[in-house]
Structure 1
């Protein structure tokens, strides 16, 4: 009997997942993001306040270490549970959806906690959703990607950097980012989620190590994003889509 590498198993599993299944994975992510953005801000604030350390870098390290251990262990556990050659397409998809929903939810918790560490004051649900989408989609380029999307959403003239962002613009930004989540973030996480179902114990290695590294990168990207947000505040009273922000990276 032929043996397969982890990459070959992942390719075989991915080829067996239909476009409809990919759409289901995407919906799973979006439902999770909506739930986290609407109901977990207070928990994130409490989590940030409870972190050890005297300065933000120390608190960031404690937060990153905690989430990396948790999600790394979960990924390894998901892979171990699926470590059998008899796993079929349906079971594989269900396992992938469960892993993807869990990781996306905890990734959202991490992003919101980093926002709280940076002292973001009472953000609206739309703003929290935009933060999560930007960091998950663009990673280390979240600030530039977010500013570029703001420019796409706008019809007005360009104000100076750091002005208030109209709520109508933010809502348009979220509508633009939503389909990009499945295309960019979903492809990366979906591959890892499917990788946890690899047989013969390989999945435990793929899922655990991938989650561990992904969380560390995510925390770093979120910290960079909130250190230099491309706007100062949300103008909840504005009714027109307006405002163009510079998207080019500056040192």
Structure 2
């Protein structure tokens, strides 16, 4: 729980154990499957409609598109969970719902970045693997994704079969809580801070996470090959800098 401000540690101890690893993992995996199964075509349409000519401009447009909604959710759930009289049960329920919804929207974002990079064909298992790889492995997603494919299927990820993808998804699912899950659990716990403080914590954490996720997804799709075309030259915009100029 090191992602939390020091002042939040004592406040959360009374109900922290109720946000269990199994509950977080189940919520995240269900949300990932929802994203992979139903968000691919909308992501392609979203990518096609983004403002911008260059790759960097499109990444900035992605960030702006998701920023208002995701950061707004972080603020709203922080405020609701910390309302006087709401109690820890409300904080817990709101935090779990937040984890699920933000994960679905993160899947939307990852698939949108995939579409920006020209990925047009992918089965559900492959889309699930993309989402899990970025969420679980972060900026090391491409290398870890390929290594896992070789370990489980004896071939590179670019030629992995559907059966191998299923094995990879099961393996990555087991890593959810120790990576992505604990981060989201920490954010949910942070939103149970006193009214106002929790809202701000939720918003700033969501914004930082959004920028990092875009960078990680962009790096991942720059490094994994497309089956349908020669990879385009694209450089990752540094979203941690120059926001005032965007």
Q: TM-score, normalised by structure 1?
A: 0.82
Specify every segment of 5 or more residues in structure 1 that has no aligned partner in the other structure, as ranges.
Answer: 235-251
- What value does the CA root-mean-square deviation take over the aligned residues? 2.2
Q: Is the 8 A contact 1:162 1:232 kept in 2?
A: no
Q: Secondary structure at the match of 1:18?
A: helix
Q: Is the 8 A contact 1:165 1:232 kept in 2?
A: no
* 1:125 matched residue in structure 2: 124
* 2:180 matched residue in structure 1: 185
Deviations along 1:177-221, one digit per CA (max 9) or x if unpaired, are 011012211001110112112113111111000000100110011
Q: Is the 8 A contact 2:150 2:157 kept in 1?
A: no
* 2:51 matched residue in structure 1: 52
Q: Secondary structure at the match of 1:121?
A: coil
In the TM superposition, what are the counterparts of 1:62-101 in structure 2 within 5 Å? 62-84=61-83, 86-101=85-100
1:65 and 1:141 map into 2 onto residues whose CA distance is 24
Deviations along 1:137-190, one digit per CA (max 9) or x if unpaired, are 111111122122223313x4xx6x685222222111111001101221100111
2:186 and 2:194 map into 1 onto residues whose CA distance is 15
2:45 and 2:198 map into 1 onto residues whose CA distance is 34
Deviations along 1:99-136, one digit per CA (max 9) or x if unpaired, are 11111011000000000111112210001100000000
* 1:237 matched residue in structure 2: none
Task: Count residues in correspondence.
Answer: 225
Q: Is the 8 A contact 2:36 2:127 kept in 1?
A: yes
2:192 and 2:97 map into 1 onto residues whose CA distance is 11
Residue 182 of structure 2 corresponds to residue 221 of structure 1: no
Deviations along 1:215-237, one digit per CA (max 9) or x if unpaired, are 011001101100111x5549xxx
2:152 and 2:127 map into 1 onto residues whose CA distance is 18
* 1:139 matched residue in structure 2: 138
2:220 and 2:104 map into 1 onto residues whose CA distance is 19
2:187 and 2:197 map into 1 onto residues whose CA distance is 12
In the TM superposition, what are the counterparts of 1:1-251 in structure 2 within 5 Å? 6-14=5-13, 16-18=15-17, 21-84=20-83, 86-154=85-153, 156=154, 164-229=159-224, 232-233=226-227
Deviation, 1:9, is 2.3
1:191 and 1:118 map into 2 onto residues whose CA distance is 31
2:184 and 2:208 map into 1 onto residues whose CA distance is 12
1:14 and 1:133 map into 2 onto residues whose CA distance is 29
2:19 and 2:197 map into 1 onto residues whose CA distance is 27
Q: Is the 8 A contact 2:19 2:92 kept in 1?
A: no
Larger-gyration structure (1/2): 1
Q: TM-score, normalised by structure 2?
A: 0.84
* 2:240 matched residue in structure 1: none
Specify every segment of 5 or more residues in structure 2 that has no aligned partner in the other structure, as ranges.
Answer: 229-246
